[in-house]
Structure 1
Amino acid sequence: MSLDYEEFNALFTQFERSAIHLEMRDSYGTAIELPHMAKWAAGEPDDLAWLQGWCDLVREGVQAGKTFKRAHVVSEPLSDYQRWSHSIMQPHIEAGSEVCWVPRRRVSSVAFPGNDFWLFDDRLVVFHHYAGNGQNIDFVTSTDPHDVRLCASAFEAVWELGIPHSEYKPSV
């Protein structure tokens, strides 16, 4: 089933235990991020106030005993998008997200689903479908046990190979 943006965002207040996110693209073109990345590329300051709503949601969830994890599988040297993403990750960490970075060369033997995803409570997968330019075009849900197992297994394998955000130093 496809979800619109509001339905997808609502899932972050509806899960009970864990929300895990696997990102495997080297760049994205999300409308909310592009102006902020452009500021970064131009060397202009960004107060990151646009992240506040998300960070508040994470903080509240973590205080309620929920887990938020995200793993970034990245090519090295990093793309401009991933260098920017790394540079704005600290507010996520401070809110309680656990974040790791995984150089793509480390994951050659990991079986991946074909798309980035969020997995909620080991029961609901939301696959992100992107256009070639990185624009998100659809959120598709699955509760199929095969999809859930594949995504949980892929995330676990990647997480084991990951480098915590505080230790990962992007190469240029």
Structure 2
Amino acid sequence: MSPSAARIDELLKATVRTAVHLEMRDGYTQNDTALDAWRAGHRADPGDRTSWWRPWLDVIAEAVARGVEIRRARIVSTPPSEYIRYEYDVTFPNVAAGEQVRWLPRRDASLISLPGNDFWLFDDRLVRWGHFNGDGDSLGGELTDDPAAVALAARAFDDVWTRAVPHDQFTF
């Protein structure tokens, strides 16, 4: 399926039970204005929801309200890259929207068989691989329902999840 057909928000809207997301890069889009603001010292105020709530979080909250369990795991290098420090600081909105988020230091992932790309797995039946260039810019995605790909993604995510630390308990 073409990358344009693999929009994550559309896939989440069609999800019935579970959506899991594994992130394994130490950096993503480096020319993000929110990252630039963070570098300049801006920090979102958790008490001022209107300042950090965004449409993506509506998609998450709506899915969770329908009973979809959404889990995100991040494998990160330690000490962390600047981007991962930023990502950690801006994760509280995801949690507020209903996502469960865990972090796994890369050194603790050595014995896990991992696919070569980040992914979303929807309802244990559909994988959306994420493709990125070397700077972390998205090159789109690729959908597959191949049973071997689904099994690899499910097994990898479960292995990471069981070793990872919940967001509110994780420190670098």
TM-score (ref. length: structure 1): 0.91
* Number of residue pairs the alignment of both structures matches: 168
Letter in 2 for 1:54: W
8 Å contact from structure 1 (residues 123, 143) kept in 2: yes
1:2 match: 2
Seen in structure 2, the aligned counterparts of structure 1 residues 14 and 30 have a Cα distance that, compared at 3 Å, is farther
**8 Å contact kept, 1:26–1:79:** yes
- For 1:109, the equivalent position in structure 2 comes to 111
- 1:126-165 deviation per Cα after TM superposition (whole angstroms, max 9, x unaligned): 0001111111102001111000000000000000000000
- Consecutive unaligned residues of structure 1, counting only runs of 5 or more, are none
Partner of 1:35: 33
Cα separation, 1, equivalents of 2:128 and 2:88 = 23
Question: TM-score, length-normalised on structure 2?
Answer: 0.91
Instruction: Using the TM superposition, give the Cα deviation of residue 61 of structure 1 relative to its aligned residue in structure 2, in angstroms.
Output: 1.3
SS in 1 for 2:29: coil
Where 2:102 maps in the other structure, the secondary structure is strand
What CA distance in whole angstroms lies between the structure 2 residues aligned with 1:113 and 1:49? 36
Bigger CA drift: 47-56 or 119-128? 47-56
Identity %: 39
In the alignment, residue 35 of structure 2 is paired with which amino acid?
A: M
Amino acid at match of 1:76: T
Separation of aligned partners in 2, 1:98 and 1:27: 21
CA contact (8 A) 1:21 1:116 kept: yes
Instruction: Give 1:136's aligned residue.
Output: 138
Q: Secondary structure at 1:62's aligned position in 2?
A: helix
Distance 1:28 1:158 in 2: 20
Q: Amino acid of the residue matched to residue 14 of structure 2?
A: Q
Unmatched 5+ residue regions in structure 2?
Answer: none
Structure 1 residues 97 and 76, CA gap change in structure 2 (3 angstroms): same
Are the aligned partners of 2:30 and 2:135 in contact in 1 as well (CA < 8 Å)? no
66, 70, 73: which is aligned to 1:71? 73
For residue 49 of structure 1, report the CA deviation from its aligned partner: 4.3
Distance 2:6 2:52 in 1: 17
Distance 2:147 2:6 in 1: 25
Equivalent position of 1:55 in the other structure: 57
RMSD: 1.8
Cα deviation, residue 15, structure 1:
1.0
